[in-house]
Amino acid sequence: MPSSRPMLTSILRGLRGRCPACGQGRVFDGFLKQAPVCSHCGEPIGQIRAEDGPPWFTVLILGPVLAPITFLVSMNESGPLWLSLPALGTGAVGAVLLLLPRVKGAFIGLLWRMQQGA
Ligand SMILES: [Zn+2]
């Protein structure tokens, strides 16, 4: 059945961790574990497999930001490297933990919308 919902709406709902169909129920049961069905509308969102897309896209987003920062920090001799590089690593892990669930939710929203047809 063709859906009249715009693709961007489904992606934005997923980005907020909400069901791409209704925008009310939650996509995730845990940090990254998908709920089998939407708690609000019963949409079977657990069947949607994002696979390696979200981690790949997260690296694609963070890589161009973190690589130059790492380079600049390591070339800057004003601070001790044993302190700045672990701090940078912690920041990178934090950025991944912040971004990955949102990217996965957006992917699920996109995949759900693509399953609905044009
Ligand atoms: Zn729903």
Instruction: Identify the domain containing residue 37 by its residue range.
Output: 7-115
State the DSSP H helix or E strand holding residue 37, giving kind and residue range, or none if neither.
Answer: none
Distance of CA 17 to the CA centre of its chain: 9
Is residue 1 assigned to a domain?
Answer: no
Whether pTM > 0.95 for this model: the answer is: no
d(CA 108, CA 41): 16
Per-residue pLDDT at 1: 43
Is residue 11 assigned to a domain?
Answer: yes
Distance from the CA of 83 to the center of ligand 1, in angstroms? 46
Is residue 65 assigned to a domain?
Answer: yes
Distance from the CA of 81 to the center of ligand 1, in angstroms? 48
d(CA 19, CA 42): 10
d(CA 93, CA 87): 10
Euclidean distance between the first and final Cα of the chain, in Å? Answer: 9
In which band, very low, low, confident or very high, does the pLDDT at 118 lie, cut at 50, 70 and 90?
A: low
Domain count, the chain: 1
Identify the burial level of 46 via C-beta atoms within 10 angstroms of its C-beta, where 0-12 means exposed, 13-18 middle and 19 or more buried.
middle
β-bridge partners, 26: 18
Is residue 92 assigned to a domain?
Answer: yes
Is residue 34 assigned to a domain?
Answer: yes
Per-residue pLDDT at 2: 47
pLDDT digits (tens, 9 = 90+) for 18-69: 999 999 999 999 999 999 999 999 999 999 999 999 999 999 999 999 999 9
Distance from the CA of 51 to the center of ligand 1, in angstroms? 21
Is residue 111 assigned to a domain?
Answer: yes
Distance from the CA of 26 to the center of ligand 1, in angstroms? 7
